[in-house]
A and B are shown apart, each in its own frame.
With several copies, the nearest count.
Chain A
């Protein structure tokens, strides 16, 4: 694979920040966009823009065709059985909330157990806290071991018949941990629980096959996989989607409407009220085409290479503590320096052109678990380079000198 050429597909990377070449290692927060995705947006707005689904005129038909074609692309990317299992949303957060509102409202009762893990992103924790409050269900959490993996020895006692929802993150954005989602979903299915996987860090990074995982729902965001901001998807097994009440009311999700009452379309339309983010969906399609042109397996291998290099080199730094298992891990390394608080370090790095993220990474309970106020995180994508990792090491060494 010609990675240096691929890197040139990303115009944003070619810039100076504070007089230094930008090193963008905040990919787990949001990825950059290749030229082909930006061009897809421009093309849409310059040639085809119109509202979808309701129009019989040329632009509307073009927009509708381009929009609907993406559903199939998403379905194929994550191994869904049919494209009607893909509901477009703003991203992971909205996807989880849809399920935690609608499914939970219909099927959760007081005393039921919602089983999560101790490493969930706030977006897969707070919606369930709200659902628990509304339904009277009880939240439980699979604990996290010191090495950043789940304590699976607790499963026998935690995965009981009371568990009606099991949800966990596929790849942790704070630890890099890759959870055994297939095994966990099998255990959850065995007790009759509904399962939802938070794939924000997985789709577009590693091969994902929702049917092999055996989950009922799978949520992800486009902006972390080269697509525009504001678009993502919820995968749902069709039978489950079909069993669910509508979510938002409005145009496009109804069949017949009278002043008093309405009946609703079949999924996915039932859950897509109002004018969707048409350009966002088309951009998501372009991102999928782009990622496929490289190959998800090649992307995964490239990220693993960079991550391994970073992990090894960083572990040599004095006074550093690396969180999460050494391997397998997602494309990120989270760490704490004895001498510097994450915000001081990230500030320091920024003045050298290096974009790191510092803080709780939307996982406050996990920070408490590891007794750190926050961590610093370097996260990679396939367009990053070994030279950038070396540059980061220079900067980290400087920081250690500066703050010690």
Chain B
């Protein structure tokens, strides 16, 4: 009874590893932006703390949350990749990541996303796109709030 290839693609070892051992897990204190995101129909939730630098770069980022492997792994992998990056680059990554999970356009900067490309398995599971995007939407919201602060 072999597992389907699609399922293996969706749940790559790296993804399962991030979901079991999320990186940058926890809360930031001090001068930072805190946002909350959820997918109400799934019950997935995320809390994210981001410290932006003067130029908008992501100086530090942490999150807590609960939800499916895809949502938690995607958030964890994201934090690893965006930490230390400048605002413009993070925006491109956000756009590119959306393209990865939707499979709707070529990437602008494939290298920047690194292993996040593994989440392209989500393309075959359209109803999981919002899981994969949960952390990214939270980051987007945090960036918006930073811009208006």
Verify whether A and B have any Cβ pair under 8 Å: yes
B127 touches A61 (CB 8 A): yes
User: Does A394 interact with chain B (Cβ within 8 Å)?
Assistant: yes
- Cβ < 8 Å to B, chain A residues 381-404: 394, 398, 402-403
Collect the chain B residues with CB atoms within 8 Å of residue A56's CB.
127
CA distance A394 to B10 in the complex (A): 21
Indicate which residue in B16, B38, B43, B68 contacts A367 across the interface (CB closer than 8 Å): B43
User: Does A327 interact with chain B (Cβ within 8 Å)?
Assistant: no
**Looking across the interface, which residue of chain A has its beta carbon closest to that of B6?**
A351
Indicate which residue in B16, B40, B70 contacts A256 across the interface (CB closer than 8 Å): B40
A343 touches B6 (CB 8 A): no
A344 touches B43 (CB 8 A): no
Collect the chain B residues with CB atoms within 8 Å of residue A20's CB.
1
B70 touches A373 (CB 8 A): no
B4 touches A351 (CB 8 A): yes
Smallest beta-carbon distance B133→chain A, Å? 14
Indicate which residue in A340, A351, A352, A364 contacts B69 across the interface (CB closer than 8 Å): A340
- Cβ < 8 Å to A, chain B residues 80-139: 125, 127-128, 131
Collect the chain A residues with CB atoms within 8 Å of residue B11's CB.
344, 348, 402-403
> Are A402 and B43 CB-contacts (below 8 A) given A341-B67, A341-B68?
no
B3 touches A351 (CB 8 A): yes
B42 touches A343 (CB 8 A): yes
B40 touches A255 (CB 8 A): yes
Collect the chain A residues with CB atoms within 8 Å of residue B6's CB.
351
Smallest beta-carbon distance B59→chain A, Å? 30
A398 touches B43 (CB 8 A): no
User: Does B44 interact with chain A (Cβ within 8 Å)?
Assistant: yes
- Cβ < 8 Å to A, chain B residues 10-27: 10-11, 16
User: Does A39 interact with chain B (Cβ within 8 Å)?
Assistant: no
Collect the chain A residues with CB atoms within 8 Å of residue B38's CB.
256
Smallest beta-carbon distance A56→chain B, Å? 6
Collect the chain A residues with CB atoms within 8 Å of residue B44's CB.
373
User: Does B29 interact with chain A (Cβ within 8 Å)?
Assistant: no
Collect the chain B residues with CB atoms within 8 Å of residue A394's CB.
1
Collect the chain A residues with CB atoms within 8 Å of residue B127's CB.
56, 61
B3 touches A344 (CB 8 A): no
CA distance A54 to B42 in the complex (A): 9
Collect the chain B residues with CB atoms within 8 Å of residue A398's CB.
1, 3
CA distance A61 to B3 in the complex (A): 20
Indicate which residue in A54, A344, A351 contacts B70 across the interface (CB closer than 8 Å): A344
Interface of B is mostly: mixed
CA distance A403 to B4 in the complex (A): 15
A359 touches B43 (CB 8 A): yes
Smallest beta-carbon distance B22→chain A, Å? 13
Collect the chain A residues with CB atoms within 8 Å of residue B45's CB.
373
A347 touches B7 (CB 8 A): yes
B68 touches A343 (CB 8 A): yes
**Looking across the interface, which residue of chain B has its beta carbon closest to that of A394?**
B1
User: Does A360 interact with chain B (Cβ within 8 Å)?
Assistant: yes
Residue-wise interface mask of A (355-376) relative to B, using a CB-CB cutoff of 8 A (1 in contact, 0 not): 0000110001001000001100
User: Does A18 interact with chain B (Cβ within 8 Å)?
Assistant: yes
- Cβ < 8 Å to B, chain A residues 65-80: none
B69 touches A374 (CB 8 A): no
Best-buried of A256, A341, A342, A394 by chain B (most CB within 10 Å) = A341
Best-buried of B3, B43, B125 by chain A (most CB within 10 Å) = B43
A374 touches B16 (CB 8 A): no
B7 touches A344 (CB 8 A): no
> Are A351 and B43 CB-contacts (below 8 A) given A61-B127, A398-B1?
no
Smallest beta-carbon distance B2→chain A, Å? 9
CA distance A351 to B8 in the complex (A): 10
> Are A343 and B4 CB-contacts (below 8 A) given A367-B43, A374-B43, A403-B16?
no
Collect the chain B residues with CB atoms within 8 Å of residue A360's CB.
41, 43
Task: Provide 14 A-B residue pairs closer than 8 Å at the C-beta atoms, listed in order of the A residue.
Answer: A254-B40, A341-B66, A341-B68, A341-B69, A344-B70, A347-B10, A347-B125, A351-B4, A351-B7, A367-B43, A373-B42, A373-B66, A374-B43, A398-B3
Q: 6 tightest CB-CB pairs across the interface, nearest first?
A: A373-B43, A341-B68, A343-B68, A255-B40, A374-B43, A351-B4
User: Which B residues are closer than 8 A to A by beta carbons?
Assistant: 1, 3-4, 6-7, 10-11, 16, 38, 40-45, 66-70, 125, 127-128, 131
User: Which A residues are closer than 8 A to B by beta carbons?
Assistant: 18-20, 54, 56, 61, 254-256, 340-344, 347-348, 351-352, 359-360, 364, 367, 373-374, 394, 398, 402-403
Give 6 A-B pairs besides A343-B68, A351-B7, A364-B40 with Cβ atoms closer than 8 angstroms. Answer: A347-B10, A347-B128, A359-B43, A398-B1, A402-B3, A403-B11
